[in-house]
Amino acid sequence: MIDRKDVLDMSRRGVLLTGGATAVFAVADAVAQPVRPSQKGAMPAMQSVQLNVNGKVHQLQLDTRTTLLDALRENLRLTGTKKGCDHGQCGACTVIINGRRINSCLSLAVMHEGDAVTTIEGLGTPDNLHPMQAAFIKHDGYQCGYCTPGQICSAVCVLDEIQDGIPSHASADLNAGSYMSEMEIRERMSGNICRCGAYSNIIEAIEEVAGAKA
């Protein structure tokens, strides 16, 4: 049989438990601020996108926040394009869009419907290398190779930029077009970092292809 003392004990335990729980939730609320949209149960926005990569059309269903780099690597398994910094500082993710180079980590995949995307896999094949790939091999333009796909995609576009008369910071006269000088090539390749320091060999490789082009 429950007497008055038991009832009082139960009430006191209840108050302590309730009070404790309130305090715990109050602290948890304070720590959890601000609440992220994903924690509210919001679903990511998905979009259908058609990507033309290396001449092949792919239909993908992507979270609209997916970068072109992640779409290439994670969805299409084209892992030649590398992720270095993932915020536009190293150039490892360089690919070619409609003939011009971009950092694919800084661009959303859904922005590239209708564009012609070229990655290192699309430049040449082991049996039929692009001249820039062959020159990198000939001049030892790499050590670990992690930056190399980005370096090669960039280098191919650098020569086109110079040929098209697009000036760089190293161009002495912005109206006189640009020249195929070592200074020009170094300046234009400055967005592609090589942690192994293979720069002099990379320049030699590009100069060889530039000479052949000229």
Q: Which is nearer to ligand FES, 62 or 136 (CB)?
A: 136
Q: How far is the CB of 199 from ligand FES (least distance, A)?
A: 9
Q: How far is the CB of 145 from ligand FES (least distance, A)?
A: 5
Q: How far is the CB of 18 from ligand FES (least distance, A)?
A: 52
Q: How far is the CB of 19 from ligand FES (least distance, A)?
A: 52
Q: How far is the CB of 171 from ligand FES (least distance, A)?
A: 24
Count, residues near ligand FES per rule CB under 6 A: 23
Is 195 an interacting residue with respect to ligand FES (CB under 6 A)?
yes
Is 86 an interacting residue with respect to ligand FES (CB under 6 A)?
yes
Q: Which is nearer to ligand FES, 84 or 122 (CB)?
A: 84
Q: Considering only residues 78, 159, 194, 209, which one is a binding residue for ligand FES as defined by CB under 6 A?
A: 194
Q: Which is nearer to ligand FES, 148 or 178 (CB)?
A: 148
DSSP string for residues in the chain: ---HHHHHHHHHHHHHHHHHHHHHHHHHHHHHPSPPGGGGTPPPPEEEEEEEETTEEEEEEEETT-BHHHIIIIIS--TTS--SSSSSSS-TTEEEETTEEEEGGGSBGGGGTT-EEE-HHHH-BTTB--HHHHHHHHTT--SS-SSHHHHHHHHHHHHHHHHTT---TT-S-TTS-----HHHHHHHTTTS--TT--HHHHHHHHHHHHHHH-
**Cα–Cα distance, 63 to 47 (Å, whole number):** 6
Q: Considering only residues 14, 19, 20, 145, which one is a binding residue for ligand FES as defined by CB under 6 A?
A: 145
Contacting residues toward ligand FES, per CB under 6 A: 83-86, 88-93, 103, 105, 142-148, 194-196, 198
